Structure 1
Amino acid sequence: MDLKELKGVHHVSAITGDAKKNYEFYTNILGMRLVKKTVNQDDTSVYHLFYADERGNPGTDLTFFEIPNAGSTHYGTNSISTTSLRVATDASLGYWENRFNEYDVEHDGITQESGRAVLPFRDFEGQRLVLVSDEKNKGVPAGKPWEKSPVPAEHGIRGLGPVTLTVSRPELTASVLTDLLSFKETGTFTSAKGSSTIRVFETGEGGTGGEVFLEENNDLPRERPGRGSVHHVAFRVENEEELRKWVQLFNDNNLPNSGFVERYYFRSLYFREANGILFELATDGPGFEGDEPFETLGESLALPPYLENQRESIEARLKPLDTKQ
């Protein structure tokens, strides 16, 4: 089957227990734009918040499901253990270190990882994040920070960088990445703490926006997810026609999968890789401006057309969240 190469990371979806504090942290402190305030389409009683560049370009979205009764995460193996966010230059990390100190954001200080300057940090729920410099990037282009962000544009977050998968049986995940998804294994590096060797896998134009890091860890039990954990990672597919080819490939090979899923803002296919991590393939479009104008993205509760007739009951179950800029 003639399948085009995946174009890079599409989005990462994580879990929060508090939508209001989450919104304040990712917009007021990290300076990302809330481009869509909607609901989890599989459980419409909870918010699904999308933070991104100025218009939610594919490869820039960090999203959160609000699960108010979620417990704390018990960190472990077989998990998406780190999400990275791209900034323009090494100098930008100095700006961010000062900003994190000003806002009492827990961080580890600037270091080097995979030949790039990075700044690991955690949000208020312990979500594991890393700012990564694009100064040497020659791969997948970055997004464009929102001009109304409280963070100066030259230092603004420009999209998603590599995600780190920590697994107990790395060869199984590596096989899924290379044999099924056609990633290329391009090298290794030693983790910033010097405790493990990380394998690098690349797709599309590669670089910061087209990489997955794979780490082996057999010393910890399986992660017990909660607030502060990542739910899934999605990779970019060019369009719906291409996604349907992926669905056919999975079905032809009897690989368990969700089948074609309509998400309105994009179309998806979900499956679990061999260590139990949830992967998604998602189309680059249609995007977030089909139901809201660019100027007011994220300010109102947006529902896809197939949920619109339930708006009254959906809104009645949600705690109001003021996101007007």
Structure 2
Amino acid sequence: MELLGIHHLSAITANAQQNVDFYTKILGMRMVKKTVNQDDPSVYHLFYGDEIGNPGTELTFFEIPRAGQNHNGNNSISTTSLRVPNDEALKYWEKRLSDYDVDHEGIIEQNGRKVIPFKDFENQRLTLVSDENNNGVAGGTPWESSEADPNFGIIGLGPIHLTVPELKPTEAILTSLMGFRIARVYKHHETGMDVQVYETGKGGTGAEVHVHVREDLPKERLGRGGVHHVAFRVENEEKIRQYLEQLNEIGIGNSGFVDRFYFRSVYFREPNGILFELATDGPGFATDEDAEHLGESLALPPFLEDRRDQIEQNLKPIDYRP
């Protein structure tokens, strides 16, 4: 496989309104699509990103109102990184997070980059990472109407962190099947343990997976504040179908071809049970909405449109004024 980088990441929230307030008002991301979970249209699926939700900038949330708190542990996507333009931007964000009483660790160094580890209102584990010296996959463009200063705005997803009890099975899938290559190893700032860095495509902050090996942790129990899956960028539908053939040839269970309307996908689990998705760069979020008004109304894929009235009745309205 020749993957282009990280496409999107999907997490769990128990409160859509608070989620919108945190990610649009505090983090200044644009809500580029307000839609529903296509597998369960009774709940929201919210997408945040850069000015038009370019691939590699999308952080998404499924709302599960009764979800219990995530129990952090092994076999998990354990931290989500968000890229900012440079080290100067981190100084802006350190003050902004403090001003909004967001739990954060201040500016530290990780893997040779300046970062700020922090948590959202549901203890979602997040990290702001500086693109100061990034020579790999380019970031997106912050929304000009952002509530945060767009000069320092979030420009996409950064390295995705996995925590697993065994390295070799996950490494085999990343390198032998998915085309990742080992880039470096660094010591984690809290545990002092080795973290393996794998990169794909042009590399850099938008194309890395960091793998933590923790034999001492129980298996994670997914809930609010946890991550459901991570998706990686594939050029087009033709490539998706080729990768699907590869998965079937080597006997890896998968979802088959899935048309998500805004992109095409295939899902599978790596050996430690973490859910991966391969997703195409297009068609994109402006397929059914004008780019100037993304996220302002409930968008439904065509196969759900005839159920709009019922779906809207089951959803609690979200107050969002971009």
CA–CA separation in structure 1 for the residues paired with 2:12 and 2:191? 28
Which structure 2 residue ranges, 5 or more long, are not aligned?
none
SS in 1 for 2:179: coil
CA–CA separation in structure 2 for the residues paired with 1:189 and 1:96? 25
Identity %: 60
RMSD: 0.7
Which amino acid in structure 2 is aligned with residue 187 of structure 1?
Answer: R
Equivalent residue for 1:87?
Answer: 84
Equivalent residue for 1:284?
Answer: 281
Equivalent residue for 2:52?
Answer: 55
CA deviation vs aligned residue, 1:49-87 (integer Å, no higher than 9, x gap): 000000000000000000000000111011000000000
Query: Deviation at 1:323?
Result: 2.3
Query: Deviation at 1:195?
Result: 2.4
Q: 1:162 aligns with which of 147, 152, 159?
A: 159
Equivalent residue for 2:222?
Answer: 225
SS in 2 for 1:39: strand
CA–CA separation in structure 2 for the residues paired with 1:192 and 1:28? 30
Q: In the alignment, does 2:105 pair up with 1:124?
A: no
Equivalent residue for 1:275?
Answer: 272
Query: Deviation at 1:194?
Result: 4.4
Alignment of 1:34-183 (within 5 A): 34-183=31-180
Alignment of 1:190-209 (within 5 A): 190-209=187-206
Q: 1:213 aligns with which of 202, 210, 214?
A: 210
CA–CA separation in structure 2 for the residues paired with 1:146 and 1:134? 18
SS in 2 for 1:249: helix
CA–CA separation in structure 2 for the residues paired with 1:199 and 1:46? 36
Query: Deviation at 1:232?
Result: 0.2
**TM-score for the superposition, normalised by structure 1:** 0.98
CA–CA separation in structure 2 for the residues paired with 1:187 and 1:93? 24
Equivalent residue for 1:255?
Answer: 252
Aligned residues: 322
Query: Deviation at 1:255?
Result: 1.4
SS in 1 for 2:132: coil
CA–CA separation in structure 2 for the residues paired with 1:209 and 1:150? 24
Q: 1:300, 1:323 within 8 Å by CA — same for their partners in 2?
A: no
Which amino acid in structure 1 is aligned with residue 258 of structure 2?
Answer: V
Q: 1:300, 1:324 within 8 Å by CA — same for their partners in 2?
A: no
Which structure 1 residue ranges, 5 or more long, are not aligned?
none
**TM-score for the superposition, normalised by structure 2:** 0.99
